[in-house]
Amino acid sequence: MSEHLANTPAGAPLPGPRTLIFDLGAPESSCVLAPALDVPDIDLDVVLGGAGRNEAPRLPHVTELEIMRHYAHLAEMNFGVDSGFYPLGSCTMKYNPRVNEDACRLEGFAGLHPYQPLETLQGALALMHGLATALGEISGLPGVTLQPSAGAHGELAALMVFRAAHEAAGDARKRVIIPETAHGTNPATVTMCGYETVTVASDPNGLVDVEALKAALDTDVAAFMLTNPNTLGLFDPRILEITEAVHAVGAYAYCDGANLNAIMGVTRPGDLGFDALHINLHKTFSTPHGGGGPGAGPVCVNDHLARFLPGPLPVAFPDGTFGLDWPEESLGRVRSFYGNFGVLVRAYTYIRAIGASGVRDAAEQAVLSANYLKERLRDAFEVPYDRTCMHEFVLSGSRQKKANGVRTLDMAKRLLDHGFHPPTVYFPLLVDEAMMIEPTETEPLSALDAFAEALIAIAGEAGSDPDLVKGAPYTTPVRRLDEARAARTPDLRWRPPQA
């Protein structure tokens, strides 16, 4: 262990204690002083009809200090944005301003009940209307529903809107096209909506092969779904040609808004020819992605499609009051009540706090941070699509794998010893030994430099001592897990040792 720790810079997490709470304390210890019995004693066996326990429960016997220290240490063993750099690609918004949390916990918001009369919900309705208006302006798509609970839910709602529009025109279609770089939720959504998925390959630059797309387009295609910038962090400069080709066969152009943070305030999906977009509020406008929810995936559409949106929608009346209304040909509800309201409050607070110029600044800073990191790392790793990136970029560990058998997973685990959360690995699939890195707009230059230096050091270790990297991590509470087994058959319950 000591030789491995010698390679670990100061500040890396220390090994956590392995002591279970059941192994702490002593039989006579307790956090609770039970008061004297002030009611008549009863025989539980008689009252419970023999259903009472035959033996005392196995509970920890710890003092108040011991239990406080136990849980405090468990919290310290966790890794999050409050404890270090979190460069997961395609996950955006690692920073969640605390003022947003304060806003959503205000009694007037947190204490609402969805069955309250609308006249008592005017503040909440005004916030929802203001947020929908802001998202319509940012996206260039003025029809907005706030109902969907997450990004994939928004994708499904948008495809349902497309289907309703096609069917209303008497033109039911069969297929939806996605690019090779699509998020995994895209084909799943297509299937759930009853369409057949058609995948088009990428060109040598990692962008949509426009000629292959045009060859796949016909009057049976309902839509083309595209993330732009894509999962390689690349903006497609032929986007206007793409959306025009989609529209030429009567199909709709859909923008997966997972990477909206790279272009918000700079350009608008509606202006690029997209007909619909979902926005991951929990990624782009507050609340870190990957926290387990709740999320929010509002859908923005053009004027033509707005009449099919799920409802009800927040509306402003001429007398200054607010209410709810249904679009003319709404496909109905996609969620109970009005969506994940607490996430809507966070997003509205974020947008109002930084303003229009701040929205653009966040995008520009995210792009600058990603390109700075890419340039610092280009000599240590292969850069498979070597051009100016947007908010994220993808490296390849294929050089280390070929030379010394050190894989990207090994280097990701070694990053834990250096005190950093690993980036997304092995995605997108078209890059061998992929490492997808997204620094976002909020990290200081010193954090970017420290991360770059750690990865450069690991690349050096892969050459000089490959077994060191293959054996990582060394400083975490648990070593390398069988991740598939841990995910599929988690064992989270403590059981007392058998006598």
Rounded CA gap, 369 and 89, in Å?
13
Rounded CA gap, 342 and 268, in Å?
26
Q: CB burial class (10 A; 0-12, 13-18, 19+) of residue 22?
A: middle
Rounded CA gap, 235 and 229, in Å?
4
Confirm if 224 and 253 have CB atoms less than 8 A apart: yes
Rounded CA gap, 420 and 412, in Å?
9
Among the listed residues 201, 182, 181, the one whose alpha carbon sits nearest the alpha carbon of residue 191: 182
What's the pLDDT tens digit per position in 317-347? 999 999 999 999 999 999 988 889 999 999 9
Structure confidence at residue 9 (pLDDT): 42
DSSP 3-state assignment of 133? helix
Percent of the chain with pLDDT over 70: 95
Task: Indicate if the pLDDT at residue 310 is higher than 90.
Answer: yes
Residue type, 117: P
Count of H helices and E strands in the chain?
17, 12
Q: Which of 11-15, 52-56, 222-226, 267-271 has the lowest mean pLDDT?
A: 11-15
What's the pLDDT tens digit per position in 178-219? 998 888 889 999 999 999 999 999 999 999 999 999 999 999
Rounded CA gap, 394 and 386, in Å?
9
Task: Indicate if the pLDDT at residue 6 is higher than 80.
Answer: no
Task: Indicate if the pLDDT at residue 489 is higher than 70.
Answer: yes
Q: Which two tokens stand for residue 335?
A: 């969620």
